[in-house]
Structure 1
Amino acid sequence: MLEEEYQPRRVAPAHLRRTEPPEAPFEFAIRTARQSDLPAIREIYNHYVANSTVTFDEDAMTLREWKQKFAYLDKLGMPFLVAESPSGQLLGYALVTPWKPKRAYRYTVENSIYLGPAASGKGLGKALLAELITASKEAGLKEMIAVVADQGAEASLALHEKFGFTEIGRMGKVGYKFDRWLGTVLLQRSLKH
């Protein structure tokens, strides 16, 4: 007899096989950011500063800088959202900032979405962007811009395109990080009803 003929006999019956427990569903709630969230937000953002080119920042942001940014966005009424696990762990955040400081740009914002490393690839970015668009419309904003790195951010480009953002331009070699030149892709979506 051939060895292959005995293979089925070596497999235990289904009721005797060890099975892996099913993975718990990925659960989260999206809510408005609070000042108490800022230490976790800082940690998520600084992970990307240190390890990726999705942000062109090279220096970690301090808690003081985040507090200033939070106060500024709150004063302007700009949406700033977080995703939280049932246990209270911050999984990611999304916010908009004014596109430019000149008054004529007051209805146009740039979005930012960052996920904790353990939360990526589970649909959280999609949920945050959907809520951010809704909150931005409710805040009376009219246009949303996304500025995405042209290398290493393919998932972000695909996500924005799924939400109706269209590419409006590219800038090459405008950032230098990790000993290489990087460009950006600009995308835009109208928020008008």
Structure 2
Amino acid sequence: MLPEEYDKRRSLPRHLRPVRAEPEFSFVIRPATVRDIAAVRAIHAHYVLNSSVTLEDRPKTLLEWRRTFDGLERLRLPFLVAESGTKTVLGYALAEPWKPRSAYRTIVEHSIFLAPASTGRGLGKALLVALVDAATDAGCKEMIAVIADEKAEASVALHERLGFRETGRMGKVGFKFDRWLGTITMTRRLKKRRR
């Protein structure tokens, strides 16, 4: 028997090979509620403690998250969660005032974080699109993304695909995990959609 004949016989024909179906990844994006705060805190804390995608070095407490939630609700700014069919929070997106001065009241900075098992499946894009729409509906005029510059290629590319443009870089502005990190600032003008 020739080696190539042996290799052919060693593997099963395609129609007899077992098929491993991936579980379906589905989600619904909805406004966050008070009940979501613990899950949001856990997702964010994972990145604070294990990565440099956020320059925060201490996870927010539940009380701090509650204040964030209440503040955004009072200002009528969007705070969204993505939820699985089993009611598990898979990620969140929010738009906070960029600066406290009233002159900046229509400028927001966004934050989007996904549960680690939910990355790479299009959820980040879906949350960002929903957040842009919600911020536009809330009367916001400009959205800012401040992205830590280490391993930021995928985030920068996603923002570019969704109409953000780079407007600035700052080097060595954050110190985390014994190294200096910079930021990339990207902005997008928000325009009311025609209905």
| Same structural fold, with TM-score higher than 0.5 when normalized by the shorter chain | yes
How far does residue 14 in structure 1 lie from its aligned partner after superposition? 4.1
Name the aligned partner's letter for residue 2 of structure 1.
L
Counterpart check, 1:107 vs 2:115: no
Counterpart check, 1:172 vs 2:193: no
**Moved segments of 4+, more than 4 Å:** none
Deviations 1:59-88 (CA, angstroms, capped at 9, x unpaired): 111111101111111111110000000000
Quick one: distance in 2 between partners of 1:108 and 1:186? 14
Which one is further off, 154-163 or 80-89?
154-163
How far does residue 7 in structure 1 lie from its aligned partner after superposition? 2.2
- Find the counterpart in structure 2 of residue 11 from structure 1: 11
Quick one: distance in 2 between partners of 1:87 and 1:15? 33
Matched residues, percent identical?
57
Quick one: distance in 1 between partners of 2:145 and 2:116? 21
Instruction: Give the SS at the match of 1:122.
Output: coil
How far does residue 22 in structure 1 lie from its aligned partner after superposition? 1.4
Quick one: distance in 1 between partners of 2:108 and 2:7? 62
- Find the counterpart in structure 1 of residue 95 from structure 2: 96
Instruction: Give the SS at the match of 2:160.
Output: helix
CA change 1:4–1:43 in 2 (3 A) is same
CA RMSD of aligned residues (A): 1.2
Instruction: Give the SS at the match of 2:93.
Output: strand
Aligned length: 192
Name the aligned partner's letter for residue 28 of structure 2.
A
Name the aligned partner's letter for residue 163 of structure 1.
L
Quick one: distance in 1 between partners of 2:2 and 2:14? 24
Quick one: distance in 2 between partners of 1:12 and 1:92? 41
Quick one: distance in 1 between partners of 2:153 and 2:185? 13
Quick one: distance in 1 between partners of 2:61 and 2:15? 55
- Find the counterpart in structure 2 of residue 181 from structure 1: 180
Quick one: distance in 2 between partners of 1:75 and 1:83? 22
TM-score w.r.t. length of structure 2? 0.94
TM-score w.r.t. length of structure 1? 0.95
